[in-house]
Structure 1
Amino acid sequence: MEKKRILITGAAGFLGSHLCDRFINEGMYVIGMDNLITGDLNNIEHLRANPDFEFRHHDVTTFVDISGELDYILHFASPASPIDYLKIPIQTLKVGALGTHNLLGLAKDKKARILVASTSEVYGDPLVHPQTEEYYGNVSPVGPRGVYDEAKRFMESITMAYHRFHDLDTRIARIFNTYGPRMRLNDGRVIPAFIGQALRGEYITVFGDGSQTRSFCYVDDQIEGIYRLLMSNYNEPVNIGNPTEISIKDFAEEIVKLTGTDQKIVYKPLPKDDPQQRRPDITKAREILGWEPKVTRKDGMKRTYQYFKNLPTEELYKKEHRDFSNRNRK
């Protein structure tokens, strides 16, 4: 019996690399694709010699050609941190629009099931709490975060259009804040930012007064939810996240305790359109997928902190110097 074949875009990224591991372990042949704008080949170095894995350096905003049969596609190619999508706004929009269009076309041609990675950011700065899949969101299309928020909202729209018009077998995962090993230390997201500051002996920087909330899901739980959604028969969006909510101020204090440091917490102005509340309603995930997170924040953060603590010293102090030149001028 031939192995199922799956294409995973964004394969060298945080979630993408963990998905490659999962589907290889499920006995599939994995084609990983990434243009490496924000991905890191170190995340998949352990797979390079695996006969069930191949890597393709390619930008999905251009035509995607895969020879042979294809059973599944996971579209996870996209900048995911504010630092990235504010530096490459046009590329962010293009991967959500053109990239999704290309992959939906490929799925249609191959008669493959496709799951697209949406985000809790489609809810914007929500006026409904917790956020259910039926909530339409409170998003500024012209604000600085609009390039990411609207790229993902368009991704959902075109995916549902292909499902309804072409009867394409589609899935939509609305992913809430996820953390764990292989996150980039200096990508600007809350957890690596706080841990990096603590390890370097710097002040812990909280934006706003710290009353805004987030809900953090450990990567193993997130991957399990995505796997179950792909294997389900449900086509509408599903929230995949941890409903345990914490304020940023309280979380910063947790980081200080976790790292055993005595860092001072300092406060800076809140970025424009930064969401005040973020908590998923996971009723659908529980009922349809039989899924809910298992890893507590305490255990997940211990694992994550150990990963960052074991990074080479040069990684701890390295600034992000990615070459974005010529990539977002069109």
Structure 2
Amino acid sequence: MARTGYGRKRVLVTGGAGFLGSHLIDRLLDQGNEVLCVDNLFTGDKRNLDHLVGNPRFEFMRHDVCLPLFVEVDEIYNLACPASPIHYQHDPVQTTKTSVHGAINMLGLAKRLKCPIFQASTSEVYGDPSVHPQTEDYWGNVNPIGIRSCYDEGKRCAETLFFDYHRQHGLEIKVARIFNTYGPRMHPSDGRVVSNFVIQALKGEDITLFGDGQQTRSFCYVDDLIEGFLRLMASPADVTGPINIGNPVEFTIRELAEEVIKQTGSTSKLTFLPLPQDDPKQRQPNIDQARAKLDWEPRVPLAEGLDRTIAYFRELIEA
């Protein structure tokens, strides 16, 4: 173990240069920990970590989790994987490898170190759900051979590996199923709905909706999500998850577009395109387990979170 004394932990965050990873690292450092960030920069961006240059408790390592990693740490957060359809469909084979081989390598490291390991899973394991809202005991409705399968099935297999390591080797695991999250440091061209709408609105372009815009999503602000991560990792060993971490307040995609137009003061118009293959019609978490086991629920309302996100992208565009 790599315990550094005075209660300080050395924490490994894979995918740490990404949107969620960089926010998690900030919180871990704020707690007084040492952080080793591992990222191959396929979708991560070192600019998300620029503010940490010179911090003696932060270290960056360029590495692909598909390859074994030999380091000494006290905890592992496994966030490495492209998470937007544009990025994970760019190289679908590599996406599956990252989820599966990456999980095997990080689980092997955790087994050797006898340390707890956190898996950033996804609401995509539910596919296009026939149960609404989605509870953790729902097995999902996933197309195993579709264009989204590399991500959906990769994450489902990673969950399988985590629970088999837990049962077979007694490994302490924490599995979070992440629902739609937004906030500063989102990749501006990752194709996610919040970043797409904000950038289109700020540029005065038409806002592109797929289908009729009546499909629903639940949007969780990044600070709330990271708080959920930390509470799950700090929970008793018998709290393994999977636990839904997301915002249970549901909005249609059209309502989101109209709120973005309102907050940006944009003159953008709405345009409609055909719905992509296997795009879920509904996505809303049941967070009863998170409330009961973690005393967690999101605090930041959509209007407030969008205000902070719009300010970030406005500065990015004007830079």
Q: TM-score range by the shorter chain?
A: over 0.9
TM-score (structure 2 length as normaliser)? 0.97
Contact 1:92 1:151 in 2 (8 A): yes
* 3-state SS in 1 of match to 2:89: helix
Distance 2:125 2:317 in 1: 36
Correspondence for 1:24 = 29
- CA shift at 1:313, angstroms? 3.7
Question: What is the identity percentage for the equivalent residue pairs of Structure 1 and Structure 2?
Answer: 55
1:207 is aligned to: 210
Match of 1:119 in 2: 122
Alignment of structure 1 residues 50-199 onto 2, 5 Å? 50-66=55-71, 68=72, 70-199=73-202
Deviations 1:103-156 (A, max 9, x none): 000000011100000000000000000000000000001000000000100010
The one-letter amino acid paired with 1:157 is T
Structure 2 residue matching 1:6: 3-state secondary structure: strand
TM-score (norm 1): 0.93
- Answer whether contact 1:186 1:196 (CA < 8 A) is retained: no
The equivalent residue for 1:287 is 292
In structure 2, C-alpha distance between the alignment counterparts of 1:19 and 1:128, rounded to whole Å:
31
Deviations 1:253-297 (A, max 9, x none): 111111101211000000000000000000000000000000010
Distance 1:124 1:258 in 2: 31
Amino acid at match of 1:64: L
Show CA shifts across 1:29-64 (max 9, x none): 100000000000000111121000000000000011
Distance 2:196 2:220 in 1: 17
Gap regions ≥5 residues in structure 2 = none
In 2, Cα distance between equivalents of 1:48 and 1:114: 26
Decide which of 233, 243, 260 is 1:238's aligned counterpart: 243
Matched, 1:266 2:271: yes
* Aligned-partner Cα distance in 1 for 2:87–2:188: 13
Once residues 101 and 12 of structure 1 are traced to their aligned partners in structure 2, the CA distance between those partners, rounded to angstroms, is: 21
Contact kept? 1:34, 1:77, Cα under 8 Å? yes
Partners of 1:177 and 1:214 within 8 A in 2? yes
Query: Which letter does structure 1 place at the counterpart of 2:233?
Result: L
- In structure 2, distance between residues paired with 1:245 and 1:19: 25
* 1:102, distance to aligned residue in structure 2 (A): 0.1
Residue aligning to 2:12: 7
Residue 216, structure 1, aligned to residue 219, structure 2: yes
Q: Residue 249 of structure 1: CA displacement?
A: 1.1
Cα deviation digits, residues 201-237 of structure 1 (max 9, x gap)? 1100000011100000000000000000011120120
Find the aligned partners of 1:28 and 1:251 in 2 and give their Cα distance.
Answer: 37
1: CA distance between counterparts of 2:68 and 2:241? Answer: 27
**Structure 1 partner of 2:306:** 301
Q: Structure 1 residue runs of 4+, over 4 Å off?
A: none
1:281-330 per-position Cα deviation (integer Å, ceiling 9, x unaligned)? 0000000000000001010000000010111447xxxxxxxxxxxxxxxx
Q: Distance in 1 between matches of 2:57 and 2:65?
A: 22
Amino acid paired to 1:242? N
Counterpart of 2:132 in structure 1: which amino acid? Answer: H
Q: Distance in 2 between matches of 1:27 and 1:186?
A: 33
The residue identity in structure 1 corresponding to 2:210 is F
The residue type paired with residue 129 of structure 2 is P
CA deviation profile, 1:54-113 (whole Å, cap 9, x unmatched): 0000000001111x4x21000000000000011011111001000000000000001110
**SS of equivalent to 1:246:** strand
Q: Alignment length, in residue pairs? A: 312
